Structure 1
Amino acid sequence: MNKLLATSALALSTLVSSPAALAEQQAQSSYRPSPFSLSATRMTTGTADVGTNELQRDQWMFDFKASMPLGKKWFIGAGVGYDNLDYDWRSASLVGNTQTWDKIERYRASLSLSYRPNKNWMFMLAPKLQYAYADTASASNAESYGTVLSGMYRFDSGNVLGLGVAYLNDIDEVRTIPFIAVNWQITENLKLGNPFSAGFSGPAGLELSYQLDPNWQLGAGTSKRTNRFLIADDKETAEIDEWVSFIRLGWDISKAVSVNAYAGYFFNGELELNPQNSKQDIDNQGAAALDVTFKF
């Protein structure tokens, strides 16, 4: 979901603009985006079997973003976020004597610097910092950091296509994630774009959306999602890796307020515990989410 399900769970977040959408906006000299935005997202999943356990997940996500131009060619942005994940386990242990973790907190911060040398090209650098840890671990050992690099080309038609790579030094693991940045107006009402911002949760994904009228959109998309967090000190981690498909219904109430509702489906999920190197499949499950964004 352009904003759905953005963690071990939904990438639900209308919180972050994709690089391609940002390139299209910055290329329009008459475009004057709101400098600040505040988003709140609520997500819930069905119950899924994980080995001999059952798991049901709920999540709150909050994001605050700010952006501004630095002259005609440079743009700068910043964002902070807080996520609260509730993992409801129906068992006392996962592997051997490993105690389950129920509450997970995640704090996020990012900067972005983009450069437009001419009307067609845009390049962006976005360093990121994250702390993700369960109630059985301490925040001081849960640091992750990385950066996202992307280059995009805006055609004379206004369509945007580009490539990017995210280098992420996650908790006790280094990952490199390539992704495609796209904002392509196929017809007057049909558009292909990225529902997510590439980062610790995975690549940007793809969404096909249809503009029903000036205020309503209907979209469908998919992406791979990853959520890694500290569950005990000494770098004991849990990672949930899964695919998500979703349908989104968006409503632009006004220029300042938008609402997106999602129905999603997680599949091919896997839970990995380290350093035990223990892996367990996660059953497919349905999910739902609601995102509200204010721009001011």
Structure 2
Amino acid sequence: MPNSLRMGAALALTALCASVVAQPRQSPGETSVSVGLTGLNQFNTRIVDGGSFNWQDASANVNVTKQFTSAFSAGVSARYNYQNWSWSDPQAFGGQAPWTAISTPALGMNFGYSPSPEWRFGFAPTVEWSGETGTGTGGTATYGAVMSVARTFSKDLTLGVGAGVFRQIDETKVFPYLLVNWNITDKLRLGNSLPAGPAGGAGLELSYALTEQWSIAGGGAYRSYRFRLNENSPVANGIGQNSFVPVFARLSYAIDRTTRIDLYAAATTAGRLSATDSSGTTQYSTNYQTGFAMALSLSKRF
């Protein structure tokens, strides 16, 4: 599962229960470490009510998980995400850029419990601080947890359900999602495309192994995230929000058994931007046309 893909905090957020369930069980005492680096470019995208925007995204993450017993595992994770937005005549926001640079550091934990080889439960609390440059950490926190349960029916099929509950700055968000790990054939697999987290559920992707090293895939998910605006924003100390449905294609190359490069091309559909003032009144809200993005990700397991 492409844990390092980051569509702006939207294809973003550290791997939580979706990856906990999907990973094979380790031997007691073993510790696994994974790191990821990702760069993304959202090309110029038209705003329905006038103007356009583009943004670039860079992120880094590290995850450490230890199998304490045959049934119980626990881990910690850290991530830093940075977005840089550029605007052209944003008439939908009164002709002013509603935000520019957004920083999102995050910390998380994950717990897995398998009372039997067939069943696995996951719980992953996380907290992140998402705000425009200059806001500090006050009033920027998003916190909550993802919970999941999955059952392995055979060596080729694991199914489950999960739910996320998060307080996104000043709004509580609850979402259910499906967990799928289905090896339809030796080469064809249906699984979760993204890690579940504050921005949304795990999504789905269908992947095909071209060779032992090369694979292709296609999938999608729903993403939505909020961030605090600084005092120089046209909506001073307010809240920005970006919601969309990324539909993507992936080309992956396994350098070795623990190192992988993923190239993504994505259409960002059903996009919507909004800015809410500090009293909770929505000052601006507009849709944007389908955009195009590309991302390159490098992930490594130890």
- Per the TM superposition, whether the score is higher than 0.5 is yes
Equivalent in 267, 275, 281 of residue 276 of structure 1: 281
Equivalent in 286, 291, 298 of residue 292 of structure 1: 298
Distance across 1 between alignment mates of 2:272 and 2:22: 36
Letter in 2 for 1:268: A
The Cα shift of 1:158 comes to 3.7
Is 1:131 aligned with 2:129? Answer: yes
Distance across 1 between alignment mates of 2:23 and 2:222: 26
In structure 1, what is the equivalent of residue 253 of structure 2? 251
**Residues 99 and 184 from structure 1, CA distance in 2 versus in 1: closer, same or farther, beyond 3 angstroms?**
same
In structure 1, what is the equivalent of residue 35 of structure 2? 38
The answer on whether the counterparts of 1:216 and 1:249 sit within 8 Å (CA) in structure 2 is yes
Matches within 5 A, 1:144-223: 144-223=142-221
The answer on whether the counterparts of 1:149 and 1:165 sit within 8 Å (CA) in structure 2 is yes
Distance across 1 between alignment mates of 2:89 and 2:141: 29
The answer on whether the counterparts of 2:20 and 2:122 sit within 8 Å (CA) in structure 1 is no
In structure 2, what is the equivalent of residue 67 of structure 1? 65
Distance across 1 between alignment mates of 2:100 and 2:208: 38
Letter in 1 for 2:125: P
Count of residue correspondences: 292
Distance across 2 between alignment mates of 1:96 and 1:22: 44
Distance across 2 between alignment mates of 1:222 and 1:37: 24
The Cα shift of 1:23 comes to 3.1
Is 1:105 aligned with 2:103? Answer: yes
Letter in 1 for 2:8: T
**Residues 197 and 203 from structure 1, CA distance in 2 versus in 1: closer, same or farther, beyond 3 angstroms?**
same
**Residues 34 and 257 from structure 1, CA distance in 2 versus in 1: closer, same or farther, beyond 3 angstroms?**
farther
The answer on whether the counterparts of 2:92 and 2:286 sit within 8 Å (CA) in structure 1 is no
Distance across 2 between alignment mates of 1:28 and 1:182: 20
**Residues 26 and 111 from structure 1, CA distance in 2 versus in 1: closer, same or farther, beyond 3 angstroms?**
same
In structure 1, what is the equivalent of residue 8 of structure 2? 7
SS in 2 for 1:139: coil
Give % identity: 24
Distance across 2 between alignment mates of 1:5 and 1:74: 29
The answer on whether the counterparts of 1:17 and 1:196 sit within 8 Å (CA) in structure 2 is no
In structure 2, what is the equivalent of residue 262 of structure 1? 264
**Residues 18 and 147 from structure 1, CA distance in 2 versus in 1: closer, same or farther, beyond 3 angstroms?**
closer
Kindly provide the CA deviation profile for residues 118-176 of structure 1, in whole angstroms up to 9, marking residues without a partner as x: 01000011001000001253322201100111000011334110000000011110000
Distance across 1 between alignment mates of 2:29 and 2:253: 21
Structure 2: any 5+ residue segments left out of the alignment? none
- TM-score between the two structures when normalised by the length of structure 2: 0.89
Q: Could you tell which deviates more after superposition, 49-58 or 39-48?
A: 49-58
The Cα shift of 1:98 comes to 6.3
Distance across 2 between alignment mates of 1:273 and 1:250: 37
Letter in 2 for 1:7: G
The answer on whether the counterparts of 2:163 and 2:176 sit within 8 Å (CA) in structure 1 is yes
Equivalent in 70, 85, 88 of residue 87 of structure 1: 85
**Residues 33 and 235 from structure 1, CA distance in 2 versus in 1: closer, same or farther, beyond 3 angstroms?**
farther
The answer on whether the counterparts of 2:15 and 2:197 sit within 8 Å (CA) in structure 1 is no
Distance across 2 between alignment mates of 1:235 and 1:205: 32
The answer on whether the counterparts of 1:7 and 1:201 sit within 8 Å (CA) in structure 2 is no
The answer on whether the counterparts of 2:16 and 2:124 sit within 8 Å (CA) in structure 1 is no
The Cα shift of 1:215 comes to 1.1
Distance across 1 between alignment mates of 2:76 and 2:239: 28
The Cα shift of 1:87 comes to 0.5
SS in 2 for 1:141: coil
SS in 1 for 2:24: helix
The Cα shift of 1:35 comes to 1.2
Letter in 2 for 1:4: L
Q: Could you tell which deviates more after superposition, 53-62 or 137-146?
A: 137-146
Distance across 2 between alignment mates of 1:79 and 1:159: 27
The answer on whether the counterparts of 2:89 and 2:95 sit within 8 Å (CA) in structure 1 is no
Equivalent in 223, 226, 230 of residue 225 of structure 1: 223
The answer on whether the counterparts of 1:127 and 1:146 sit within 8 Å (CA) in structure 2 is yes
Q: Could you tell which deviates more after superposition, 152-161 or 171-180?
A: 152-161
